[in-house]
Structure 1
Amino acid sequence: MSDLRTAAAPSVGPGQILPFAATRHPDKIGLVVGDSRLTYRELDRLSDNVAASLRAGGIGTGDVVSLYGQNSWQWIVSYHGALKAGAVVNPVNVMLTGPELAYVLGDCGAKAVFAGPDQAGTVSGALDSVASVDLFCVFGRSDASAPEGAVPWDDFLASAAGSTAVSAPDVAPKDLCCIGYTSGTTGHPKGAMQSHQSVLLNCALTATMHGRGVDEIVVTALPAAHVYGNVAINSTFLAGGTVVLMERFDAAHALHLIATEHATLFEGVPAMYSMMLADPAFETADVTSLRKSTIGGQTFSPSLAERWQARVAGPVLELWGMTEIAGLGTTHSVFAPPVLGSIGVSLPGTEIKIAPIDGGAGEVPVGTPGELVVRGPLVMLGYHGRPDATAEVLGADGWLRTGDVAYVDDTGHFFVVDRLKDMILTAGYNVYPAEIERVISSHPQVTMVAVGKRPDEVKGEVAVAYVVTAAGSDLDAAAVLEFCRERLAAYKRPRDVVFVDALPTTSSGKLMRRKLTELDHAISR
């Protein structure tokens, strides 16, 4: 393997991105988070320290390291440090509840967990039922309060003092790099196994399509644990640009950062754009430095992009992707003519076609809706420990079924029409009805439940629970919502509860979710 610290470009895995950037731009600011401004040299050194400390604790090649916290510089260097140690990274959605987190940690067999200070209590509770974890580290100062058994961040880094420098292990392109969990229609999340090749290529190809360069300054609040956020951050690092990372999204603060940091690119989901457009500061905000914007995560009205571009120069680059391909699968080239409403064209080297809805072989004619399918080096290795679920979506011929209904025009641009399954897209997050139904149906006063979706101007779609209660029940909507609050992440919780006498079903007894909206005027409590 060539030494990527002096090579022309990384060619092995994402663990080499920071060494590569530090070699080319050692004193360039690579990451800004709050008051912290870190150069590539500092990012590389800090991630080396993380790798050395993991190795000192007996965690290395093949071990799973989970990251569960809000966006922070510590999260970023822990991600890269884990890869340098030879570990497999498991980025976890920070909104997961304790039971959801415990399932993920147990399913992937996590050996180490890094958590933000606000998430430490949740991790501590989850670890009561997870036996595999040997290290629990909390970002923060050594004098900060931490749960029993947790190692403060500074103490963790000090554990490798005096150790020799870590030499990142050789990795093959198809070696396991990351396990990213995505909710499943069976009610339990599935861990998509991403290779080093898929993660690195996604970052490299995204940087190419979006024309990222050393002068790029990206403002984003996308969660680092999400594939969209991961690619936004690491494709910029790969190009030698600067990432201005918000801990969490706030419309007014995002506009402030765009102005004060002279951002050239903003990346977000439609709800973020909607909130910025609705903010009183938008009309007078200084957005003159922006040259382009990206938008993904859910479908949106073209009028949203038009309103944004009335004040912001440069194209709005729509994109589409999924955890199973480590990020993007389609997007627009920054230099190509815009095609409003399209998710763009396939990334270089990625095969995308529209297959028959019924799952048959071949392709459908141009302009005809079918299922969007993907093949190529970005496709996951499979679902962790779930060969059955893998076989349902990944054929022997390498084509991955995405579950999205789309069509392609005669220029090769793809357009998403709908979804085959009943997935709900709320503020950029994927929500599956079966997972909510599994929780609500466990309530002792619930006989049956079905979950549908309702349009929402800000979030795109929200979940609605349709509930049949047991005879004599006094259950009301507030009680159902509170029951969900303790068991589901905030973005998964239904926003309304409708009580009904019966649910629409097929002759075989399957729920007909497309009929649920007809029940909206049923019993209210």
Structure 2
Amino acid sequence: MSTVPETGTLALPPLDGLGQLLPRLSRRWPDRTALVTDERTLSFADLDRESSRVARALQDRSIHPGDRVALFSQNRWEWIVSYHAVLKAGAVVNPLNVMLTGEEVAYILADAGTKVLLASGERLDAVGDELRAVPSLEQVVSFDDCGHQVEQFSDLLAVDDDPGFTPFPVDPGSLACIAYTSGTTGRPKGAMQSQRSLVLNCAYAATMHGRTSDDVVITALPAPHVYGNVVINATFMVGGKVVLRKRFDAEDTLQCIVEHRATLLEGVPAMYAMLLASPALEDADLSSLTRSTVGGQTIAETVIDAWESRSGVPLIELWGMTELSGLGTTHAIHAPNVRGSIGVALPGVQVKVADTQDVTVECAPGEPGELLVRGPIVTMGYFNNTEATAETITPDGWLRTGDIATHDGQGHFFVVDRLKDMIITGGYNVYPAEIERVLIGHESVALVAVGREPDPVKGEVAHAYVVLAPGQQPDADALIAHCRQHMAAYKVPRAVHFVDTLPTTSSGKLIRRHLRSSATANA
């Protein structure tokens, strides 16, 4: 009689939606550890059982297929269980960024027509008063015991097991998730992600990065963010273990790598910069790692060099966005890694660089233009916003990403910066990320961000905001001189501000529009 091997790559029949994933894993590896948090460790059978209970509880509370259910908390096992429960019920997930204000949460819930909110007590304390203004919201469930008059998550878990329960059958092209963008230029927009786009992104990420059931993945990336979501579910998809941290801390991450013998670390550039600056790195045993990934923002090659030298494993760059349900490009683990490149297009996905004024004109190798993507992972559009959809997706299906990039003619792409972050100084285009990559190479710099400031002569100029490395002293003249050695004069920042911290999103991305206020607060 043949037996199923305990380790290796898991081959699953095609999934119509992620709601079908846990039942299959539970049948294959019921006792294998799937998720580790500070509060609880769950096997695949545990995750399947708990999420089915919550799915049935939602159905009992008149949640029907297509209804929107929001999740609002820091990383925790209840969030993961709830995510899969919503999909099992055939409902639509509405993940909320934990940094949102009450006003922003109320707007998103109302715009999406959300019926149920599952949230941590801490988040309810922060935004609870605003929820009364959401006409569609019928029920609020708290993950914690709290003073609010809401139902407890433990009540949903108290539903008796039903061995005959099966996830609601979904069409791969149907709506699975409405993930709202940050709203940097106005109200947040709800990117509609299909069942197919979620499944494909996780499957392609698992394939490109060589995930197997032997993998132990450390992640503090926020679960509501597409990068964090793909990291978690791509690992589950192959039967691997996810060690989920509530938030990133360099020392904690290093301890987790050692304690859990982690094989894969995933994060954004700021996380790796903080790891390299941590005194705990010197004695940390990183020998269990086999590779690591970085995305969310451009990363300096000096940071890549330093991390690879210390860890002894490749740092695989990737690029993606909410409108793609996760990744759009990355490197395959066994293919040559072109340093500084975000990689190649995912299977079945088209990527090109086009003229910013006429996207029908493709740019030559090395020529900057806007990065465009077309394929089954592209958003279905923005919920309740046909105008924004038409502005972002061309009639022939190309998604305008808003990123400036180049290509090498060999299939590799290189992100220069966000189009909206570009600084026009004296008629020249200056990309903040280029200045950041130079400054992070200086020994005194631990973290850096570059923003624009108005200038009466040049229109706009660049200002740098620097967090010093441990033991270093502020020396703006030395940093400006370093920039002059490595870039044209018009790119050199006009001023350097030394700060204690940089403003970031919950996923660790720099928020350049908040740099000036951050510097004032640090003063």
- What TM-score results when the alignment is normalised by the length of structure 2? 0.80
| 1:156 correspondence with 2:156 | yes
Letter paired with 1:399 = W
- After superposition, residues 357-436 of structure 1 pair within 5 angstroms as 357-422=356-421
Match of 1:48 among 27, 52, 61: 52
Name 2:176's counterpart in structure 1: 177
For 1:146, what is the secondary structure of its paired residue?
A: coil
Q: How far apart are 1:185 and its partner, in Å?
A: 4.8
2:73 pairs with 1:69: yes
Alpha-carbon distance change, 157 to 123 in structure 1, aligned in 2, over 3 angstroms: farther
Q: Percent identity?
A: 50
Aligned to 1:285: 284
Residues 312, 163 of structure 1: alpha-carbon distance in 2 compared, 3 angstrom cutoff:
closer
Q: Deviations over 1:82-103 (max 9, x none)?
A: 0000100011100101111111
Instruction: Report what 2:266 is aligned to.
Output: 267
Q: Is the 8 A contact 1:138 1:146 kept in 2?
A: no
Equivalent-residue separation in structure 1 for 2:214 and 2:161 (angstroms): 37
1:101 equivalent in alignment to 2:105: yes
Tell me how far 1:16 sits from its aligned partner: 1.3
Q: Take 2:253 and 2:359, find their aligned partners in 1: how far apart are those partners?
A: 46
Shift of 1:77: 0.4
1:83 is paired with a residue of what secondary structure?
A: helix
The residue type paired with residue 31 of structure 2 is D
- Displacement of 1:162 in angstroms is 7.1
Given candidates 129, 132, 146, the residue that maps to 1:128 is 132
1:365: how far off? 1.4
Give unmatched runs, 5+ long, in structure 2: 1-9, 423-431, 437-448, 452-458, 469-502
CA contact (8 A) 1:146 1:152 kept: no
Partner of 1:12: 16
Which residue number corresponds to residue 238 of structure 1? 237
**Within 1, Cα distance between the matches of 2:135 and 2:43?**
38
1:18 deviates by: 1.2
> Which residue does the alignment assign to 2:325?
326
Q: Deviations over 1:342-389 (max 9, x none)?
A: 000010110001111213313121221111000000000000000000
Contact 2:191 2:383 in 1 (8 A): yes
Counterpart amino acid of residue 384 in structure 1 = F
Amino acid at match of 1:235: A
Pair 1:458–1:39, CA change in 2 (3 A):
farther
Q: Which amino acid aligns with 1:304?
A: V
Q: Which residue of 2 aligns with 1:28?
A: 32
Secondary structure of 1:284 counterpart: coil
Q: Which of 87, 91, 106 is 2:95 aligned to?
A: 91
Contact 2:212/2:240 (<8 A) preserved: yes
SS in 2 for 1:46: helix
User: 2:347, 2:358 → 1: CA distance?
Assistant: 25
Say whether 1:494 aligns with 2:514: yes
Give the aligned residue type for 2:255.
Answer: H
16-25 or 295-304: bigger deviation: 16-25
Q: What TM-score do you get using the length of structure 1 for normalisation?
A: 0.80
Give secondary structure in 2 for the equivalent of 1:364.
coil
Q: Distance in 2 between matches of 1:317 and 1:456?
A: 27
Change beyond 3 A, Cα 1:451–1:96: farther
Aligned residues: 442
Aligned residue among 39, 43, 50 for 2:43: 39
Pairing 1:213–2:212 present: yes
The answer for unaligned runs of 5 or more in structure 1 is 1-5, 434-449, 460-483, 499-519
Counterpart contact for 1:95–1:490, Cα < 8 Å: no
Mean Cα deviation higher: 181-190 or 251-260: 181-190
2:514 maps to amino acid: P
Whole-angstrom CA distance in 2 between matches of 1:135 and 1:491? 34
State the 1:313 CA deviation: 2.2
1: CA distance, partners of 2:238 / 2:344? 22
SS in 2 for 1:184: coil
Q: SS of 2:286's equivalent?
A: coil
The amino acid of 2:409's aligned partner reads D
Q: What is the CA–CA distance in structure 1 between the aligned matches of 2:15 and 2:346, rounded to whole Å?
A: 17
Q: CA deviation at 1:163?
A: 6.6
8 A contact 1:406–1:416 mirrored in 2? yes
Q: Which moved more, 1:416-425 or 1:283-292?
A: 416-425
Give the whole-Å Cα distance in 2 for the aligned partners of 1:240 and 1:453. 47
SS in 1 for 2:84: helix
Distance 1:19 1:355, change over 3 A: same
